[in-house]
Amino acid sequence: MAAGMDLHAEPPPTPSAEMTIMVGPAQSWRAAVPGDQAHHLITTFGILGSACGGISGAVLTLRNPNLTVLALAELGLALVAALLITACSIARARQEERGRQDERARRLELARRAEQAPEELGGRGAPRRKRSR
C-alpha cells in the first residue's frame, strides 16, 4: 500500500445512487444503483419502512389493551404512507412513458419529413433563388 493513502476515503462520485444501511456500529450494507433506477430503490425502501414502522408501532401499542384504537391508527397511517409512495411511483412511471412516446413520435415525424423533402423538391436538393439583374 502506498504511504499516505487513506483507507476510509470516500470513492469519487459516480452517476450511481448509493445507499448504506447500518445496524449498530459493526454491521453495514451498501448498495449502488444506476442513477436512472434510484427511484425504484427509494420507493421500495419507503414502502418497507412504512410497513415496518406501522407493524412495530402497532405491536408496541397493543401491549396495552387500552390503546387498541391507537394501534389500528398506526397501521392505517403506515398503509396510507405505503399507498402514497406507490401512487407517486406509478404516476412517475406513466409520465416517463408518455415522455418516451412523445420523443418517439417526434423522431418519426422528423424522419417522415426528411423522406418527403427530396420528393417535394423534385430530387434536386434545396430550391435555388433567382438572381435579380
Task: Quickly list H helices, 5-133.
Answer: 38-62, 68-120
Query: Is 69 inside any structural domain?
Result: yes
C-alpha cell at 81: 404512507
Query: Is 127 inside any structural domain?
Result: no
Per-residue pLDDT at 86: 82
Distance, CA of 31 to CA of 16 (rounded, Å): 10
Q: Which of 79, 57, 82, 56 is nearest to 70 (CA)?
A: 57
Number of domains in the chain: 1
Query: Is 6 inside any structural domain?
Result: no
pLDDT in tens, 57-102: 778 777 787 888 888 888 888 888 888 888 888 888 888 888 888 8
pTM above 0.75, yes or no: no
Residue 73 is part of which domain span?
38-120
Query: Is 9 inside any structural domain?
Result: no
pLDDT in tens, 14-56: 666 677 777 777 777 777 777 777 777 777 888 888 888 888 8
